[in-house]
Structure 1
């Protein structure tokens, strides 16, 4: 349990960085950020795949189909929705909506996987989930209040950002459940191998998306400078950093956590991503969070700690 917790925490710290990448490159289309990140992820996995080619060769056609599905929905589509949401609505609203993932995944897993992982009684699960929800509400109440004080909000663009954030929630509710299914069904497989396989599966999808985006911009006479935009070195460096740390290393750590923790509890630990994203956002703004935000963070931590103390009831034979 302790090792699984540590892996989930590190995965959250690396994943939090993807929330600020769209803010660091606001002039770049979200689709270019998505395909750039996962092109870097795939390229990073190539030498790792070469070193693990014998192990990768043991994966079946069904395994590779599953890796492609996970790559398409949990990687490319998720980050496309998230980057679109952040650029349209700013940081607060997407953080609020993505922050509901621990609750959504815990509810889905407790209903879907109770025969495999055991069932956490709803009465015992409710208090930590309420604390997590209250913490997320406090944090984002402060953020929304600051946004309203700005007064320069395009409501249509803002609402479309909310829709994209909801799409990201759907993608990342599906991804950890399906990913954990494969890992728990193959306990003899290395989580590192599965992370590398997903990177290899992502690369052709990202390259195809890159080519289609370039073609679409050329046909539409888009003034954006392709292939690398107006800040090519900064773009490449940032994509390489999040490709290495958030995509490969974060996926590896999450896979390690998924093999050690019940899915219901692992789902709650995605709250670490929300905490990390908030911390990085405040660092970027150069100011300390206010009292409401600090209270929300405390509620999040207490809720997760409480949830980790719960033990699922063993299903009857």
Structure 2
């Protein structure tokens, strides 16, 4: 459990970068950021794929179909929707909706677990979820105060819809990914991360080329392919591809193998906390008292959740021993 916890923490630290990238590259369309990120992921995955070629070659057709579906939904569709939501409605509103992921994933995975060992009594799970939700509300209530009011109601509505699409995509992804990892424990987490990168590459390339054809037809004013700030764009896409995609996915795969999915879902709060940290660094401001109170509640909720699952596992082990 400790190894899984630390891996989830590391994944959260990597994933937090994706929330500030649309702010740093605010003059790039969300779909371009998504395709660029995953072209970077796929290209970077070619390197570990060469060194891990025996394990990659041992993957079955069913494994590759699963990797393709996970890559399409959890990578390209998720980040295109998230980046578009942030640019349409500013960061606070989408962050509030996406911030509910720890609670929603935990509820969905515990409601219909892939295996009986994945579930926990609701009375044990509920207290930590309530505290995490309270922390999210405190954090996001403060962030909503940063809405600039310069966007139209239509932009906010479209941004909310895009954020809800991202929420649905990333509720599905960790549950399905964890179930595949648990059904196939022989697949190493690094191998599965690399496989998803390889599966993502053709999808991202096709999407990027398709967007180029769209702009060539006179739709939009994006300077295809690398936009107005090519060096920064390429650097950020490679950073996201390496850290947020390959390394983050590998760490999350390790966590998924070692933790019940409903607990791992709660640990996605580390992504929220990391995104907050990076956003405050980017803005150059100190978080308010309400944000800090929300952070304390988030940490307390996670600690309660880990404790509840740890006690449940000890009780199960003792029962098995007797």
Q: TM-score range by the shorter chain?
A: over 0.9
Which residue matches 2:174?
Answer: 176
> What is the number of equivalent residue pairs in this alignment?
315
Residues of 2 paired with 1:116 and 1:232: CA distance? 50
Query: Contact (CA 8 Å) 2:118, 2:262: kept in 1 or not?
Result: no
Which residue matches 1:82?
Answer: 82
Could you tell me which runs of 5 or more consecutive residues in structure 2 were left unpaired when the two chains were aligned: none
Trace 1:137-148 onto structure 2 (pairs within 5 A): 137-147=137-147
Which residue matches 2:161?
Answer: 163
Which residue matches 2:102?
Answer: 102
TM-score (norm 2): 0.95
Query: Contact (CA 8 Å) 2:118, 2:261: kept in 1 or not?
Result: no
1:221 CA drift (Å): 4.3
Residue 91 (str. 1) matches residue 95 (str. 2): no
Which residue matches 1:308?
Answer: 306
Q: 1:295 aligns with which of 293, 296, 303?
A: 293
Which residue matches 2:58?
Answer: 58
Residues of 1 paired with 2:60 and 2:159: CA distance? 39
1:155 CA drift (Å): 1.7
1:118 CA drift (Å): 4.1
Residues of 2 paired with 1:241 and 1:118: CA distance? 34
Residues of 2 paired with 1:271 and 1:118: CA distance? 19
Distance 1:37 1:265, change over 3 A: same
Which deviates more, 87-96 or 232-241? 87-96
Could you tell me which runs of 5 or more consecutive residues in structure 1 were left unpaired when the two chains were aligned: none
Which residue matches 2:263?
Answer: 265
Trace 1:231-242 onto structure 2 (pairs within 5 A): 231-242=229-240
Distance 1:114 1:183, change over 3 A: closer
Residues of 2 paired with 1:60 and 1:187: CA distance? 14
RMSD: 1.6
1:93 CA drift (Å): 1.0
1:145 CA drift (Å): 2.1
Query: Contact (CA 8 Å) 1:117, 1:263: kept in 2 or not?
Result: no
Which residue matches 1:48?
Answer: 48
Runs of at least 4 residues off by over 6 Å: none
SS at match of 1:245: helix
TM-score (norm 1): 0.96
